[in-house]
Structures are given as C-alpha cells and as structure tokens.
Copies of this chain bind each other. A is one copy, B any other.
C-alpha cells in the first residue's frame, strides 16, 4: 500500500481537483475513500496533508464549502468555484503532459536489446 511513497509528493492538489471536477461536491473523508477505492487500496491520503490542502484551496478561491449534519455527524462539503473548474481543468491537462514527459525519461534505454 502506498501511503507515504515519495512519489505521492506533489500530487495531492491534482488528485483533489480531479475528483471534485469529476464527482462534484465531496467531503474530506469521502475524498480519501474514493482515492483508496479507485487505486485498489494502493493510494491512501493522510488527513494531515489533505485538510490543510483543502483549506488552502478554499482560501485561494478555488473551492467553496458548505456544512451539513448527517447522522448527527458534521460534514463539510467542498465544491469547485467557477475559477476552480478552470484551475482543475488546467491541472488535469498538466498532469497528463507531465506524465508524458516523465515517461520519456523513465522509458529511456541506452542499451538496445
């Protein structure tokens, strides 16, 4: 299980934005569960990283929050703003571009079989 793989560094914002872009409003716990589920249990976000990131994105105007009480437990839903949707869209594109470039490096071969 990848919890603190160094490669996870730098991907948190991108993951959060992608999920909110795709699924609409979500709450923090839900985001961690969705990531776990989608990755077949391999990627597990930590709350200590997630919440500060969500709060930062809110402060930046990328997302807005609405609180609800469900089953006597409070939930805080996060949703992309209009600006946030554009941000997410850009980040998603940047992700695929970056992976394409990384792939060129990580698939490089000096010795041809």
Chain A interface (Cβ < 8 Å from any Cβ of B): 2, 5-11, 13-15, 18-19, 22-24, 35, 38-40, 42-43, 92, 94-99, 101-106, 108-111
Q: Which residues of B contact A40 (CB under 8 A)?
A: 101, 104
Report whether A7 and B5 are in contact in the complex, using a CB–CB cutoff of 8 Å.
no
Report whether A106 and B102 are in contact in the complex, using a CB–CB cutoff of 8 Å.
no
Work out how many copies of this chain go into the complex: 2
Q: Which residues of B contact A8 (CB under 8 A)?
A: 10, 98
Report whether A18 and B106 are in contact in the complex, using a CB–CB cutoff of 8 Å.
yes
Q: How far is the CB of A12 from chain B (nearest CB, A)?
A: 9
Complexed CA–CA distance, A23 and B109 (Å): 8
Interface centre among A5, A9, A101, A104, by most chain B C-beta atoms within 10 angstroms, is A101
Known: A39-B105, A101-B39, A105-B35. A10 touches B13 (CB 8 A): no
Complexed CA–CA distance, A110 and B112 (Å): 42
Closest residue of chain B to A18 (Cβ to Cβ) is: B106
Complexed CA–CA distance, A6 and B35 (Å): 19
Q: Please, could you name 22 A-B residue pairs with CB atoms under 8 Å apart, sorted by A?
A: A2-B97, A5-B98, A6-B13, A7-B10, A7-B11, A7-B98, A8-B10, A10-B11, A14-B106, A18-B105, A18-B106, A19-B108, A22-B108, A24-B110, A38-B105, A38-B108, A39-B104, A40-B104, A43-B102, A43-B105, A95-B106, A96-B106
